[in-house]
């Protein structure tokens, strides 16, 4: 199969590289000459474990290439994937489809033989039908079908998610398009991974419903955590106890400072907007959005309480600012709410993150970046663990406590036990939904 991937952002690049590893001939297209030059040089503009090596392997095999020439890439393609951004539109919370529709119009002018135009971007219901209308209007003689193929990639584990998916969702309108998509995903068909073939609208809805449900699970356990703090329960035990129920499952039941990233914030807002437009308010989703923002602000209060009600003039070490580990993605990360509030409160903030500095430098002005947790903790008044990178999971707590001016710690990912933190010499410890401690005097 010959595949053109329009867009080399996170979804487009990961999908293009993985399709080439399936054995397809893939051309990734982007309008940014700098990005194309970077990719041709063997470098990737994102951090995703294993992606750079997999890309190099398939470039060397002659199956993967990069270009700014959309027309040439699309002309002889069997399938053209639209994988451009759909950011939240300012003002109304809807997904901005400007890039999707522009790509559709440009693709239309380049179509030659029968081609399936596949929307990989996350788009509101009805978008694929609109893409079809744009192509038909632009090129009335084109022989094509449209398909919806939403992605379900977790940043930090995207290659494994693509190669060994829980399911592949394909929305089509014709048997011909279904056959092409079956060829595209043949390696997964042969290994019996579940493939859900449905209509366009159902495929579009599956993506939004899945992300809204996962965001709801995260927000639910975070609310339970807040209640646990009031009644003396331990949210880690509660999560384990309910997660063992097969109807509930244990994933996405880890209390923390709220969800962020490129998908959940954007997709919950878009789903809420779709519901409003159809006079069917998504009340649960709207509540999730509201509560998630409250959770982030509650984390600020935790740090303030840890510092006796004020951070003014105090040095605070922040461990991790990306929205999750194993990614450099800062989009809607809790740190973007928490850190500016601390800086605004007069704190001197030091930050450590294995991959967050590139994006974080411009997003978090007024902070000092350190190479490791121990340098950040030197003479600090408080330490806040915000993102659970592996290098923060086995810290020498005694070494940290000795370096600090005031050995106080807020573990906002519940990595460390209260006993271990206390034995290490910390005097104050704040957690999420379980017992911390504060020394007398």
Looking up residue 277, the CATH number of its domain turns out to be 1.10.1040.10
- Has 263 been annotated as catalytic? yes
Q: Which residues form the domain of 278? A: 208-285
Residue 203, in any domain of the structure: no
Neighbours of 373 (CB within 10 A): 23
**Are residues 315 and 265 part of one domain?**
no
What number is the average pLDDT over the span 84-103?
Answer: 87
Residue 390 counted as domain residue: yes
Q: Are residues 154 and 254 both part of a single domain?
A: no
- Domain boundary (257, 285, 313) is at 285
* Residue 251 sits in the same domain as residue 330: no
In this prediction the pTM is 0.93
Q: What digits encode the pLDDT tens for the residues 191-207? A: 999 999 999 999 999 99
331-to-47, 145, 261 alpha-carbon distances in Å: 14, 34, 5
Catalytic residue among 18, 228, 263, 307: 263
* 114 pLDDT above the threshold of 60: yes
Q: Residues 292-320: pLDDT tens digits?
A: 999 999 999 999 999 999 999 999 999 99
The residues near 417 (Cβ < 8 Å, ≥ 6 apart) are: none
Q: Is residue 133 part of a domain?
A: yes
Query: Residue 402: in which H helix or E strand, if any?
Result: helix 397-403
Nearest to 320 by CA among 275, 407, 383, 365: 383
Summarised one tens digit per residue, pLDDT across range 53-73 is 999 999 999 999 999 999 999
Percent of the chain exceeding pLDDT 90 equals 94
Residue 289 and residue 281: Cα distance in Å, rounded? 13
- Per-residue model confidence (pLDDT) at position 315: 98
d(CA 334, CA 345): 17
Q: Which 8-state DSSP code applies to residue 392?
A: G
Residues 229 and 125 in one domain: no
Residues 222, 137 share a domain: no
Q: Which tokens belong to 279?
A: 């006079």
Q: Are 203 and 189 in contact (CB under 8 A)?
A: no
Enter the DSSP assignment of 260.
-
The dihedral region occupied by 291, where left means phi > 0, alpha psi between -120 and 50, and beta the remainder, is alpha
Provide the residue count of the chain: 441
Contact 339, 296 (CB under 8 A): no
Shared domain check, 264 and 386? no
CA angle (202 as vertex; 201, 205 as ends), nearest 5: 85
Residues 69 and 128 in one domain: yes
Same domain, 92 and 180: yes
β-strand partners of 355 = none
Q: Which residue among 198, 233, 258 closes a domain?
A: 198
User: Are 128 and 255 within one domain?
Assistant: no
Q: Residues 306, 312, 316, 320: what is their CA dihedral angle, to the nearest 10 degrees?
A: 90
Pairing of strands 437-438, 428-430: antiparallel
| CA atoms within 13 A of residue 313's CA, in its CB half-sphere | 2
Query: How many domains in the chain?
Result: 3
């Amino acid at each position: 199969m010959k595949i053109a991937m329009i867009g080399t952002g996170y979804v487009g690049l990961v999908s293009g590289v993985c399709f080439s590893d399936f054995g397809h001939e893939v051309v990734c297209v982007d309008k940014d000459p700098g990005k194309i030059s970077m990719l041709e040089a063997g470098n990737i503009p994102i951090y995703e474990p294993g992606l750079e090596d997999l890309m190099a392997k398939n470039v060397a095999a002659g199956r993967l290439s990069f270009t700014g020439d959309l027309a040439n890439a699309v002309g002889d393609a069997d399938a053209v994937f639209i994988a451009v951004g759909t950011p939240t539109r300012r003002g109304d919370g809807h997904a901005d489809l400007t890039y999707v529709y522009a790509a559709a119009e440009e693709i239309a002018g380049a179509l030659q033989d029968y081609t399936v135009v596949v929307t990989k971007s996350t788009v509101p219901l009805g978008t694929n039908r609109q893409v079809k209308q744009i192509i038909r209007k632009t090129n009335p003689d084109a022989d094509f079908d449209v398909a919806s193929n939403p992605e379900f990639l977790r940043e930090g584990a995207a290659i494994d998610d693509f190669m060994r998916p829980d399911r592949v969702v394909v929305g089509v309108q014709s048997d011909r398009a279904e056959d092409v998509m079956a060829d595209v995903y043949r390696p997964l068909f042969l290994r019996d991974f579940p493939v859900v073939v449905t209509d366009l609208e159902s495929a579009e809805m599956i993506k939004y419903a899945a992300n809204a449900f996962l965001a709801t699970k995260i927000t639910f356990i975070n609310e339970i955590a807040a209640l646990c703090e009031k009644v003396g329960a331990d949210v880690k035990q509660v999560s384990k106890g309910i997660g063992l129920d097969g109807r509930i499952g244990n994933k996405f039941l880890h209390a923390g400072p709220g969800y962020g990233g490129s998908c959940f914030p954007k997709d919950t807002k878009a789903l809420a907007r779709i519901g409003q437009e159809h006079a069917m308010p998504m009340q649960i989703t709207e509540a999730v959005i509201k509560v998630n923002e409250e959770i982030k602000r509650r984390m600020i209060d935790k740090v303030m309480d840890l510092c006796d009600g004020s951070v003014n003039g105090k040095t605070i070490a922040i461990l991790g600012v990306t929205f999750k580990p194993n990614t450099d993605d800062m989009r809607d990360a809790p740190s973007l709410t928490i850190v500016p509030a601390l800086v605004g409160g007069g704190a001197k903030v030091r930050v450590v993150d294995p991959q967050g500095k590139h994006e974080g430098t411009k997003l978090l002005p007024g902070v000092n970046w350190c190479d490791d947790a121990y340098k950040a903790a030197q003479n600090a008044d408080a330490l806040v663990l915000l993102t659970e990178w592996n290098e923060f999971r086995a810290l020498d707590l005694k070494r940290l406590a000795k370096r600090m001016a005031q050995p106080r710690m807020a573990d906002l990912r519940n990595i460390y036990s209260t006993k271990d933190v206390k034995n290490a010499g910390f005097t104050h410890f704040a957690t999420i939904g379980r017992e911390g401690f504060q020394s007398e005097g």
